[in-house]
Amino acid sequence: MYIEHLSLKNFRNYKSEEFSFIPHTNILYGENAQGKTNALEAVYLFSIGKSFRTTQDRELIRFGEEMARAELVFSDNKRQQKIEIILRRDKKKQIKINGVVIHKLSELVGRLNVVLFCPEELGLVKEGPNVRRRFLDIALSQLRPNYYHLLGLYNKVLEQRNNLIKKIKFQNASSLADTMFVWNEKLATYGVQIAAYRAEFVKLLEGYAKKVHSEICSEELLIEYRTRVGTKEDFLEKLNNNLDKEIEQGYTLYGPHRDDIYLAVSGKDAKNFASQGQQRTIVLSLKLAQADLLFEENGEYPVLLLDDIMSELDAGRRAYLAGKILNKQAVITCTDVEQNLKTDTAKTIHIKGGAIL
């Protein structure tokens, strides 16, 4: 799988630009704040329909413009495909796949698979559970597109249940509690499926991550999915028996939206004891394991997006990563070309002020 062409119009700081990529290493270089990451953000958008930097689509539209258009052509082992995304300030975004408008993001997810490395994700180990759940959900959605649809259903029910809890709490509408069983049933139905998907995925991911981690260093990596979701009956029992506590807190206390991934290095909790170097190695292992797993399951390696990540790694980890991406498509942003995987076969693209020089 590799991207061939990216066209941007009024996207972030790009007025109008065309990118052509080779199937191997592509390096976008230039000073900071020139638009390198914006180009990666555009590619990422075609993978899951959302930015990795903002939840507001309107922020992707060039200042002073009412709409933006992005078009990407890529090839997989079956055929060449084209995706077009139109963003408007006052309307929902429109997505076309091979000229046909889609109405659900679940129809997009899983077509173009990417794995993103960026400095912010180095906080995957130390930050809160929501960061690790986000990594898990994005990785799993690309591998199992049905999961993305299921997660959407769960989140909608969770939002409705939380709204009902708030009404009972703040509007003294205790009679509404009698309708809670409807949302409990749906939440439990979707929740146990999500937990099962995640448990299976983390078990698979651990096998690949252990191998990568052992190749980088001699420490043993442990990855464990931690959830309080058991059977549907157990889940329903928790919801029913703890409603008063949830009303007091003002939100749903039980479910996969509260789960986490436990990471340990050589038997020690990584969140509390891992050094900065160990944290970087864990993240690198997780991301490369995600890519390897996608390859084993789909028969195609995902596109690797490396946003100024090489400057965050020491020489040994940079060399290892360089070896791993050899003969795979990678789009890399950096300020210094010479120290960032420049090879005779790499394509370099100089970015300045939202334009290719």
| Residue ending a domain, choose from 299, 323, 340 | 299
- Does residue 44 lie in a domain region? yes
Burial of 142 by CB count in 10 Å (0-12 exposed, 13-18 middle, 19+ buried)?
A: buried
Kindly report the CATH number assigned to the domain that includes residue 284: 1.20.1050.90
CA distances from 145 to 5, 120, 131 (A): 24, 25, 20
Task: Return the pLDDT at 241.
Answer: 92
Q: Indicate the pLDDT class of residue 336, thresholds 50, 70 and 90.
A: confident
Residues 107 and 43 in one domain: yes
Mean per-residue pLDDT of the chain = 92
Q: Out of 10-19, 119-128, 197-206, 266-275, pick the least confident.
A: 119-128
Task: List all residues 6 or more positions away from 132 whose beta carbon is below 8 Å from its beta carbon.
Answer: 124, 260, 261
Residues 277 and 319 in one domain: no
pLDDT reading at 338 higher than 70: no
Q: Indicate the pLDDT class of residue 339, thresholds 50, 70 and 90.
A: low
DSSP letter assigned to residue 121: G
- Does residue 54 lie in a domain region? yes
With b for 16 or more beta-carbon neighbours within 10 A and e for fewer, the 283-295 pattern comes to bbbbbbbbbbbbb
Q: Which residue has the higher pLDDT, 314 or 344?
A: 314
Task: Return the pLDDT at 70.
Answer: 98
Q: CB-side exposure of 336: number of CA atoms within 13 Å?
A: 7
Task: Return the pLDDT at 77.
Answer: 86
Task: Return the pLDDT at 121.
Answer: 85
Task: Return the pLDDT at 343.
Answer: 64
pLDDT digits (tens, 9 = 90+) for 271-302: 999 998 899 999 999 999 999 999 999 899 99
Task: Return the pLDDT at 7.
Answer: 98
Residues 185 and 292 in one domain: yes
Residues 225 and 262 in one domain: yes
- Does residue 118 lie in a domain region? no
Residues 180 and 291 in one domain: yes
DSSP letter assigned to residue 99: T
How far apart CA 91 and CA 67 sit, in angstroms, is 10
- Does residue 201 lie in a domain region? yes
Residues 286 and 341 in one domain: no
- Does residue 19 lie in a domain region? yes
Q: How confident is the model over 135-150, as a mean pLDDT?
A: 93
Task: Return the pLDDT at 342.
Answer: 58
pLDDT digits (tens, 9 = 90+) for 53-91: 999 999 999 999 999 999 999 999 889 999 999 999 989
Residues 109 and 168 in one domain: no
Q: Which domain holds residue 208?
A: 123-299
Residues 176 and 79 in one domain: no
Residues 290 and 339 in one domain: no
Kindly report the CATH number assigned to the domain that includes residue 349: 3.40.50.300
The whole-model pTM stands at: 0.92
Residues 216 and 350 in one domain: no
Share of the chain above pLDDT 90, in %: 80
| Strands annotated E in 199-283 | 221-226, 260-265, 268-269
Q: How many structural domains comprise the chain?
A: 2
Residues 22 and 156 in one domain: no
- Does residue 33 lie in a domain region? yes
pLDDT digits (tens, 9 = 90+) for 237-278: 999 999 999 999 999 999 999 999 999 999 999 999 999 889
How far apart CA 238 and CA 82 sit, in angstroms, is 47
- Does residue 39 lie in a domain region? yes
pLDDT digits (tens, 9 = 90+) for 26-46: 999 999 999 999 999 999 999
- Does residue 10 lie in a domain region? yes
Q: How confident is the model over 314-330, as a mean pLDDT?
A: 88
Residues 97 and 156 in one domain: no
With b for 16 or more beta-carbon neighbours within 10 A and e for fewer, the 47-78 pattern comes to bbbbbbbeeebeebbbeeeebbbbbbbbeeee
pLDDT reading at 329 higher than 80: yes
